[in-house]
Amino acid sequence: MARNGYQTGSIVSHGWVRWVPKMPDLINEQDVSVNFEEYRRLDGLALADLVRSGQVSAEELLNTAWARLEAVNPKLNFLVTPLRERALQQVKRPHSGPFAGVPFLTKDLFQDIAGVPNYNGCRAMRQAGHVASETGTITQRWLNAGVVLMGTTATPEFGSKGVTEPAVSGVTANPWNLAVTTGGSSGGSAAAVAAGVVPLAGANDGGGSIRIPAACCGLFGLKPGRGRNPWGPQLSEYMHGGVMTHVLTRSVRDSAAMLDATHGPEVGSLTVLAPPERPFLAEVSGPPGTLRVAFSTRSPLGLGVDPSAVASVERTVALLKDLGHTVEEAQPDIDFFDAARRFMMLWCVQVGQFVREVKKQTACGWAGFEPDTRSMCLLGQALTAAEYLDAHTVAKACTMAMGHFFEQHDVWLTPTLATPPGAHGSTAVPAWQGAALKAVATMGLTRAVIRAGGFDQLVRDNMAWLPFTQLANLTGLPAMSVPLFTSQDGLPSGVHFMGPMGQEGLLFRLAGQLEQAQPWAHRFPAL
């Protein structure tokens, strides 16, 4: 038994599922020689050890993973593009790297694979049959680490929401409770990992899109700091470095080992962080020392926080004290609502850029996009260059404020989410609202909507249940959601830690200590 409990050695209709990809034929049961219950107890590093030692083959792991995918995807609807034939070719080649032979899924957003369909959760791109022309730098580094790509996973359109309910493919369900959200925008990957299809999967995070689904699905999710992982080859960064790509995992050490395999600059990188003093994997088993932990359970937006989220933080505070850390209630000197408002401005402008680019690529009309996307695009188009620059200036001021805060504290603890995962459709903007905004835009009155508090309302509507995550994107700081506890109804409940710039190693040390003190590897959904 290795540290942290990881050993070595006809479609069902659910009403809310509107599209399920056509699968290759089911594999023959006799081809599956790795017992699923054994498979899902192991993390990616443990599975790779078995492949390296010759105890199992990469093809056997793939067969087991594919059988599980076939069994659960009709219920969960996480798969966008199946790549089994590609994966079967890949496992026939020699394997190397820390995750050699380990089944893996990428997200259908900014994780391009040359020659493979890429839709970004967008109906217009799917209807146009868009195919990636080149492999993304991060995807190539994952391949270099040895993973076997089985397919791509669902995301909301352009990753622009905290739930995974794209019109093009339908709702992705949570393995812990099919009636509630997986979160987003990496909800497809989170569902697959939580259901035991793969031990880790590609994700990215522009406002919490790694950490939100990690909290909803009982996983570990770390967002690296600005510049830690690459964004090429087409662009050097998105959202001024606020959007970062990494993985969702069950174990802390898988996340650390994959960051070891992917971090570092590329040609054209705008932000070059100092390399870590030690491998991130070594940090997981290293003592964090006595940390100065600040915590808060109040919503940064002045809205409500569910008692279950507060209870998870309070239990974490007690655990941290037992582990010898110094804990006090404190929060940074930031106008959080204004920061969230400025973040939403930056994001709406970015969504507008996505829409313009897709229109150019596909010649689609306004109907090629979802109502929420159209609303964000219209609001973004109505902003002036001065307002955009003001928003970016506020972001830089928040970064400085966080730097001063971390002079007094080592990490900041909050809930990951303000409420438990909600029912499907509970965060959808009413259709009339989008239609009304379009009419207002046609009349040239969108500026009046903004002056009347349109952005303030957008912040409340979209961020009420997830007010804690976007600050890490606005400032570019590393942050993580850790699945220490469950709520009374059995759903996962994550707690959130932010750390100073460049200190992913510190977060991994703390996460490793918490994982050992309060393990979660034994918890699986009943699916």
**From CA 448, how far away is CA 452, in angstroms rounded?**
6
Which amino acid, one-letter code, is at 341?
R
**From CA 55, how far away is CA 366, in angstroms rounded?**
54
Q: What stretches of 363-430 show up as alpha helix (H) in DSSP?
A: 371-382, 385-408
Q: State whether residue 321 is helix, strand or coil.
A: helix
Q: Considering Cα of 261, then 250, then 77, then 69, what sign does the dihedral take? A: positive
Residue 153 DSSP symbol: E
To the query of whether residue 185 is one of the catalytic residues in this protein, the response is yes
DSSP string, 172-186: PEETTEEEEE--SSS
To the query of whether residue 133 is one of the catalytic residues in this protein, the response is no
To the query of whether residue 10 is one of the catalytic residues in this protein, the response is no
- Are 477 and 498 within 8 A, CB to CB? yes
Options 160, 169, 185, 251, the catalytic residue: 185
Residue 196 DSSP symbol: T
Which amino acid, one-letter code, is at 85?
E
Tell me the sheet residues that pair with 327: 293
Which amino acid, one-letter code, is at 135?
T
Q: How far apart are the first and last CA of the chain?
A: 25
Q: Mark 58-79 as b/e (b = at least 16 C-beta within 10 Å).
A: bbbbbbbbbbbbbbbbbbbbbb
Of the candidates 487, 116, 75, 93, the residue with the CA atom closest to the CA atom of residue 314: 487
Q: State whether residue 246 is helix, strand or coil.
A: strand
Q: State whether residue 119 is helix, strand or coil.
A: coil
Options 169, 186, 209, 255, the catalytic residue: 209
Give the total residue count for the chain.
527
Q: How far is CA 308 from CA 67, 318, 461, 521, in A?
A: 36, 15, 21, 21
Strand order in the sheet with 220-223: 79-82, 148-153, 103-107, 200-205, 244-249, 220-223, 479-486, 492-498, 411-415, 292-295, 326-329
From the centroid of its chain, how far is CA 502? 19
The helix or strand, by DSSP H or E, that contains position 475, with its residue range, turns out to be helix 470-475
Which amino acid, one-letter code, is at 237?
E
C-alpha torsion 243→245→247→248, nearest 10: 20
C-alpha torsion 94→100→102→108, nearest 10: -90
- Are 311 and 418 within 8 A, CB to CB? no
Tokens representing 248? 């969702």
The residues carrying an active-site annotation are 107, 185, 209
